[in-house]
Each structure stands twice: as C-alpha cells, then as structure tokens.
A and B are shown apart, each in its own frame.
Chain A
Amino acid sequence: MVAIADSVPKAHSRFHFILDRRDVLGSLMVAPAILYVLLLVGVPFLMAVYYSMSAYTIYNPSWSFVGLSNFVDVVENPAFRQTLYNTFIFTFGSQILGLVLGKFGALLLLRPFPGRKFVRAIIILPWAVPIALATVAWQWMFDSLYSVINWTLIALGFITRANAPNWLGNPDLAMLSIIVVNAWRFFPFAIVIFLAGITAVPQDVIDAATVDGAGFWRKNYQIIVPMILPIVAIGLVFGIVFTFTDLSIVFLMTNGGPVGATSVLGFAGFQTGITSGDVSHGAAISLFMLPVLLVVVIFMLRFIRRREI
C-alpha cells in the first residue's frame, strides 16, 4: 500500500523530468506531424515507385516485378510523347504569360490611386477561388455555341458566326485556351509576389540610385529586379510545380482532347491509372513528373542555404 503511494509521485516527477528536456519534448511534439506525412506521403510515394515497376492492374492485382518495361511501353507510345510535350508547353506558356501579366499588374498597383484596395481585392479572385469552379466558368465562356467571347468578336465585326472559332474543339486553340486559363489563375499570385518583393526593397536604396542618376529602366532592372529575385524565384517554383502536375483545368475543360492535343502528365496518369485501371502504367506516367520536381526541389534547397549564409 505504502509502496504504491510512494511510487506514484516518483514516476510523476521522473515523467516530468523527461518532459522538461528540450530535445525529448521537442521530438514528441514534432512526431505526430512527421508520422502522418511519412505514412501518407512517404509510403505512398515508395508504393508509386514500386507500382511503376510491377504488373499491377485493378483486374490483376499481382505484385510481380517487371523492371523498367512499363517505362519502355510508355515512352514508345506516341500519345505519351505528345503528352510530355504538351505538359512543357502548358507549364511554360502559362508561367511566362502569368509572370508578364503579374509584373505589369504589380507596377500598376504600386502607384496609389482612388479605389486601389478594391481593385486589388478583385484582382486576387482568380487565384483565390477554387480553380475547378473558375474553370467551369471559362468552359461556359468558351462554349461552342453560346461563347460570350465569340459573341463579342462577332458583334465587333472581327469574325462571322459561320467561321466562329470552336475554342475547345480545335487542337491549337484548345491548348491556347488552357494556357490562358492557367495564366489567368496564376497572374494574381505573381502580382502579389512581385508586390511583396518590391515593397521590401528599402526606399533609401532606390533613393541612392536616383541621386546617382539611375533612370527608370536602370533602377528597375539593375536594382529592383536583382533584389526581388529570391522571392520571385519561390513564386515561380510554386507556379511550375502546381502547373506541371495539375489535371483539373484539362480534365474539366477539354478532357485531354481534341485527340490528345491537351493531354498533360497528370491527366494521362489519371486516365491510365484510375479510369482504365492500368495502375502500373499510370504510375509510370506520373513518375515522369519526378525529374522536374527534383530539379525544383534542389533549386529551392540551394536557394534556402544560400540565403542563410
């Protein structure tokens, strides 16, 4: 009886003693987050790699190892090579367009004018609103019959109803359309990133340059741009990763069509792995994203390290 009564406070204090060690408590506090991410990102990632080298389909869930033959099948398929090419066009086309729009938009919003806050609030919308919902609005704007864009072009006399473009039905126009929608979705993010960068440039640096006789372009490209480059680089990393791996715009607007003209990696992985149930080939297609992701990650790590020195 006495022994029990004695041991309780002792255990209690020992427990407390351990919890008061910074490293022990620190590890305990970080463990749940790490475990969650390890179990549901780390393990599935390894599974994806194994799938890509197995013969696994939903009809034949065997785990037999087939080496790199899935990758060979995938690369030999001309439709896949088209998809890979499309993914790069889609990513870089929309990022460049988004960055150009973002830079100009930021320069505009830098200057005070009446109603600036309201204009900024509206300009943020394309990035804030769930992309799937904005995409269906664009799909409706590109409708083959009731397109408001075509209606306007006809009313302005640029085209006639007989030769009105079918935006999502023509291979080149469909690619252009998804690039425009994705650039539209990202340019507010680019504006915000540019603004955050520019406002962080100390005013005295700019003043000093002005005193030394630097003109507008010189100030812009030799002082401001190099100083905001780190923050812009982070924004670009986000843009590239999320565009390169996305499928929602393509899935909703064109469904990869017409005849594969807008199929991108994420979409092709979904079509093959989920819709058709050919998990192993789907995983192989998705894994083609990895080199690009790795490059981006290495770039980011080097960038973070350089910042710390």
Chain B
Amino acid sequence: MARTTTVGTIARETSFYSAVVFFFVLAAFPFYWMLITSFKSNSDLYNVTNIPFWFNDPPTLEHFRYLFEKTLFTTWLLNSLIIGLVVTAITLVTALPAAYSLARMTGKNGEALGIGIFLTYLVPPTLLFLPLSRVIAILGLQNSMWALVLVYPTFTIPFCTWLLMGFFKAMPREIEEAAIVDGCSLFGAFVKMAIPLSLPGILTTVIFTFTLTLQEFVYALTFVSASDQKPITLGVATDLIRGDVFYWGEIMAGALIASIPVAIAYNLFLDRFISGITGGAVK
C-alpha cells in the first residue's frame, strides 16, 4: 500500500515538473535563442552541421560592436527614450487630473465617461492609421519621431486614466475631506493630498506608459520611414536588413538589449497592472 502511494507520488511529481519544464522552455527558448545568436560568430551561425544550441566557435562581441559602431542603434535608443519621456509627461499631465475627476468629482456620469475613455483604448491603430497619417502630414510631422509623440498618447491616456481611476477609488475619501475642512481648496486637496498618496499608482502609470511606447509597432511603421528617426523596436525589426540579407547576429543583439528593461518592468509591476486592467472585476 505504502509502496504504491510512493510510486504514485513519484509519477505525479514527475509529470508535474515535466509540465513546468515544458512551459519554461516554451516561454524562454526564443530569448535564449536571441542571446546565443547575438554572441555567436557568423561562421558558427551559418553552418548547418554545427549543433546550434551552444557555441562551436568561441563567443564573440562582434555583433554588439557592429550594432553600436556601424548602425544607428544608439540613435534609436535615444529616440525611444525621448519619445517615452515626452509621452509619459503628456500622459501624466492629462490622465492624472482626469482620473481623479472621474473617480471623485463627476459622480455617476464620471463612471460612464471613464468607461467611454477606456473603450477608446480598444480602437485599433490599424483603423486609425490612414486618417492619422493625413493629420500628421498636415502638421508637417511626416517621417519624424514627433509624430509618434503626438499619436502615442491616444492609447496611453485612456489606459492610464483607467489605471489611475482604480487607484483613486481605492483611496479613502476622508483624507481629502479633512484637508478641505482644514481650509484647502478642492484643487489643493488634489495636489497636496491625493497626488502624494497615489505615488505608487503614478509610478505604475509611468512604467506602463513607457513600456507601451516601447512595444508599439504599427504607428511607428506607418509614420516613420527615415532610419534616423525610428524608435528602437522599429529600427531593430526593419532596419538591420540589407536587401535580402538579414543581419541575424545584430538583430538578435538589438532585440535582446531592447527587451531587457521591458521584461524587468513587467515583472516588477505585474500585479498592479492586472488589478488595473480588470478594473476591480474581482473584489
């Protein structure tokens, strides 16, 4: 009896851990592939008789060196940084008061308006890129990264307003009411009490605005074709190809560098993100 239980336990444990390994490999392998490709010499990469999973020639930094010295990679990094910072600023300045107002001041209408704003987050870029490219042409921003600075808030504002609404709703009203009783104006209560208290929410918003701008591809592809104006995601995915030749080592090196910050940010802020988008569907 005891022995069959042990055998059963071992069998169950084995299948459990093999399933975990399966999921782990499924998720991680493409990134492992990026990593190993970016450090392999070309003669190693393009030899089908080599075992591809490990180094057959010594690892090399030639792809990284080429990426930083012979391509616009650093320009793309800088472009992405500028786009991310400006879009984050625009988003905070508009979404923060909007979220507070919708959560606290506009009552039942605020709820409906909040849902309305959130739904615009679901209007896809592939529906809007044609008219928006006209708008951008009228403003003289075609082929410039500032076109992306203009357009990205159309999805970061709805998203962050929704996220911040959740934070403000979870905050006890009494604190601001006490401040108002003490002679603070309504707006003063927002600036002096609500904002400092919601700093964790604001930080989450900043991180996700930044990652949303890094992840975006469709608008960047549509509006920016000049190489030196591209953000990093677009540059790495489309600009390291000469004719039919893919510079796989450089592409994977660039993809790896651009992926790391986003991967870290998501892991640190995941729980807040989930409670944000599900909007308290579970209490």
Contact = CB atoms under 8 A, between A and B. Distances in A.
Interface in A235-257: 235, 237-238, 241-242, 244-248, 251-252
B277 interface: yes
Contacts of A138: 30
Interface string A100-120: 010011001001010000010
Contact of B117 (A19, A34, A125, A197): A34
A209 B80 CA distance: 52
B105 A29 contact: yes
A41 B128 contact: yes
Contacts of A244: 124
A36 B94 contact: yes
Interface of B is mostly: helix
B55 interface: no
B135 A265 contact: no
A124 B264 CA distance: 10
Contacts of B27: 122-126, 184, 188
A194 to B, nearest CB: 11
B85 interface: no
Contacts of A148: 33, 52-53
Interface residues of A, number: 99
Interface string A265-309: 110011001100001001100110110010011001100100100
A121 interface: yes
Nearest to A40: B154
A241 B122 contact: yes
Nearest to B13: A113
Contacts of B45: 146
Nearest to B211: A128
Interface stretch (B3-11, B60-68, B231-239): B231-239
B186 A19 contact: yes
Interface residues of B, number: 95
A168 interface: no
A101 B161 CA distance: 31
Given A32-B97, A146-B46, A251-B221, A270 B126 contact: yes
Given A22-B105, A32-B98, A40 B132 contact: yes
B123 A130 contact: no
Contacts of A20: 185-186
Contacts of B125: 245
B20 interface: yes
A148 B252 CA distance: 14
19 contacts: A30-B97, A30-B106, A30-B110, A33-B95, A36-B153, A40-B154, A42-B120, A43-B131, A45-B131, A108-B19, A124-B270, A133-B254, A133-B255, A141-B30, A188-B27, A192-B270, A200-B283, A237-B122, A269-B127
Interface of A: 16, 19-20, 22-23, 25-27, 29-30, 32-34, 36-37, 40-45, 47-48, 51, 101, 104-105, 108, 111, 113, 119, 121-138, 140-141, 145-146, 148, 151, 161, 184, 188, 192-193, 196-197, 200, 228, 230-231, 234-235, 237-238, 241-242, 244-248, 251-252, 265-266, 269-270, 273-274, 279, 282-283, 286-287, 289-290, 293, 296-297, 300-301, 304, 307
